[in-house]
Structure 1
């Protein structure tokens, strides 16, 4: 049976930090000039993406598992995870000599599955979401007596994640605002517990993916409510229902819960890669994405600390997200033009694109369609551009030369 959130003290969080000091090192806190210029206050990045096993999850997993009795350790543990918690539990099991079984969604990123196996865990992939995998993990625990290591909804897990909050206060003692990605709420709740006790005037903001956002509805209702949809690339925070342990902590100690778009996370991932030289997964980029989306419209007292919660990203997903981020940042432009189906038409378009200093990435001839005349051809283009202003100059230039330009309803759909 778990203890109540009110029983988690700073002394217990410090004890967890002492325990963890033997297995992990504090992650870096990096000043980011680009974000600072956009936000209008000093912004620091808490780099949990550089944590052992690639995310903050080892903090809670090791804390929880190290406190099991010898008899419980002998029974083994079971977990459900989209990847980061799986790796944290598997690594903790390897260090503590505990057998680990993990249920992961069938579409869990392959590098996360492989890394979990490499730490010695037994993997079974079931269900489309973390919540569905968790059903199987609970059933296995009941069937075998294995101890369920919940990804967020246990006091020991929250206490372990709270050590990140202690590090933030040690590394940036004058912090005024902390922004944290939010899934089930273990990290946000833990940071809130540590910070509220030691520096109560700090503003704490949670950020969920807007297409998997259970907390705003739950907070409005006053109790956990399942999300109506789960359609985000940020698998690390794709949690459909807040926990009984984490929800009241977030409700009582967090100033606000905001949402970030898929495009916002893509832009943040690309920004962090280009400007901070940091590889971050979509969930890990959620806090930075919200800052980028709201720069200039939301006033934040600085210094601001944005937590980069994880960096375990599938390279194939990274390629797609970088392309998505390039579109969102105005670096890719997709449109079509209709021209006479005569020799030289394509060459003229290519020359005009070159004159506009736009690099052609993809090109496609479309000869048939309900709006294409028999003597016309539609040419679909994807160009590399330098930003929204350059895109507009390219489109204006094409129209000024007499081309019929057809733009997609949303560049992000392509």
Structure 2
């Protein structure tokens, strides 16, 4: 049963293993949002995400009951690492089924804890079906990432730590995928601070739980597509939906560009690295998705930090383009000595730093005697980019911008 007592029991089990992660005031985010914002940094948790809490509590309860058989789980990564870590801690076998698209950093993180990894399916739900079958065939206990009272109780310990630090909190902003975290946290919060609003945030690219919340009945979707792979759940759990309908006051979604902007904001302004799922709460604040009285005390859970380096690089690159700190041009010039020098002299004059350049004289789209120069520039904002455009036009250069 998931209740305050089970969550408090879970905290007794996990407190010697999980980190009590920082609960820190976020001054820049507070100023921008108009709220008093605090970040619960579960991205700094052992294994890099809150999922360790639920997985450890579940496996600890199995050990207490005398079950030392193997365990199997399905996960996009964070639950997998939590199960793998916990199984190693107790000296039992663990097999993890992960979607084929799982970032390499999460696959390697699981293997480092000694678990067996099977890559299967294009999303969590396909991996889940295979893991259940595997467990039945091999007599392994399946550790569900959210549809389990012990797992949800473990996740609810995040709320216990927050409330211990701030008893007069006005709202908690929590990411939603399968719903285990918000179920556990909302039960704890409503028991200890009923006035605190529970705000759920999911990715618009994984809309099942949001649609189910609005319709007040489980709705499944046919596919998911989001950079927030930790909450990329296709089907709605009737079990967690019940808790969500009972305890969640507001439920909103954020888009892919908003999630990416939040990741970059946290990295640049807060010096905090999070994955897509860990950024959705901040994305909601940054883009005006949350409506509370000014000055409200708001806790935002940064649920995890296991982001793939390739994805991070892409987010940074696109973020620099959108914020006018990088500019890509395709300039057509006459293919003769001095033409390229004339271009670079203009760029030098306006203080644009060239970070990459390419020269193409063979494209079939070119007139004979012309060449295309692709150039990437470091720029200083919108006004600086407009100055670059003006100078190139005055210099007689034909150019296109790449976005």
TM-score (norm 2): 0.91
5+ unaligned residues in a row in structure 1: which ranges? Answer: 1-6
Aligned partners of 2:211, 2:236: CA distance in 1, in Å?
10
Aligned partners of 1:49, 1:97: CA distance in 2, in Å?
26
User: SS of the residue aligned with 2:359?
Assistant: strand
Question: More displaced, 21-30 or 42-51?
Answer: 21-30
Question: More displaced, 173-182 or 43-52?
Answer: 173-182
| 1:337 and 1:378 in contact (8 A); partners too | yes
Q: Give the counterpart of 2:257 among 245, 248, 263.
A: 263
Residue 100 of structure 2 corresponds to: 106
Q: Give the counterpart of 1:21 among 1, 4, 15.
A: 15
- The answer to whether the aligner puts 1:51 opposite 2:59 as a matched pair is no
Cα deviation code 1:293-315 (max 9, x no counterpart): 338x9556422221111112233
- The answer to whether the aligner puts 1:94 opposite 2:91 as a matched pair is no
User: How much does 1:36 deviate?
Assistant: 1.4
- The answer to whether the aligner puts 1:79 opposite 2:73 as a matched pair is yes
Cα deviation code 1:159-210 (max 9, x no counterpart): 1111111111122323222222221111122221111222222232222222
User: How much does 1:70 deviate?
Assistant: 6.2
Residue 151 of structure 2 corresponds to: 157
Aligned partners of 1:397, 1:203: CA distance in 2, in Å?
53
User: SS of the residue aligned with 1:211?
Assistant: coil
Aligned partners of 1:164, 1:27: CA distance in 2, in Å?
9
Change (3 A) 1:333 1:75: same
User: How much does 1:350 deviate?
Assistant: 2.0
Q: Give the counterpart of 2:29 among 22, 26, 35.
A: 35
| 2:201 and 2:251 in contact (8 A); partners too | yes
Residue 229 of structure 2 corresponds to: 235
| 1:266 and 1:328 in contact (8 A); partners too | no
Aligned partners of 2:382, 2:155: CA distance in 1, in Å?
40
| 1:267 and 1:329 in contact (8 A); partners too | no
Q: Give the counterpart of 2:180 among 186, 206, 219.
A: 186
Aligned partners of 2:226, 2:122: CA distance in 1, in Å?
12
| 1:72 and 1:146 in contact (8 A); partners too | no
- The answer to whether the aligner puts 1:283 opposite 2:274 as a matched pair is no
Cα deviation code 1:237-282 (max 9, x no counterpart): 1111121221122223212222223222222222222222222122
Q: Give the counterpart of 2:389 among 365, 379, 395.
A: 395
Aligned partners of 1:159, 1:331: CA distance in 2, in Å?
45
User: How much does 1:369 deviate?
Assistant: 5.9
- The answer to whether the aligner puts 1:378 opposite 2:369 as a matched pair is no
Residue 130 of structure 1 corresponds to: 124
| 1:270 and 1:326 in contact (8 A); partners too | no
User: How much does 1:348 deviate?
Assistant: 2.3
User: How much does 1:400 deviate?
Assistant: 4.8
Aligned partners of 2:191, 2:394: CA distance in 1, in Å?
63
Change (3 A) 1:399 1:227: farther
User: How much does 1:48 deviate?
Assistant: 0.2
Q: Give the counterpart of 1:119 among 104, 113, 118.
A: 113
TM-score (norm 1): 0.89
5+ unaligned residues in a row in structure 2: which ranges? Answer: none
Aligned partners of 1:219, 1:320: CA distance in 2, in Å?
32
Residue 340 of structure 1 corresponds to: 334
Aligned partners of 2:87, 2:44: CA distance in 1, in Å?
20
Q: Give the counterpart of 1:12 among 6, 29, 39.
A: 6
Change (3 A) 1:268 1:94: same
| 1:87 and 1:116 in contact (8 A); partners too | yes
Aligned partners of 1:192, 1:83: CA distance in 2, in Å?
24
User: SS of the residue aligned with 2:238?
Assistant: coil
User: How much does 1:366 deviate?
Assistant: 4.2
Q: Give the counterpart of 2:286 among 264, 285, 292.
A: 292
User: How much does 1:117 deviate?
Assistant: 1.8
Question: More displaced, 366-375 or 135-144?
Answer: 366-375
Q: Give the counterpart of 1:64 among 54, 58, 66.
A: 58
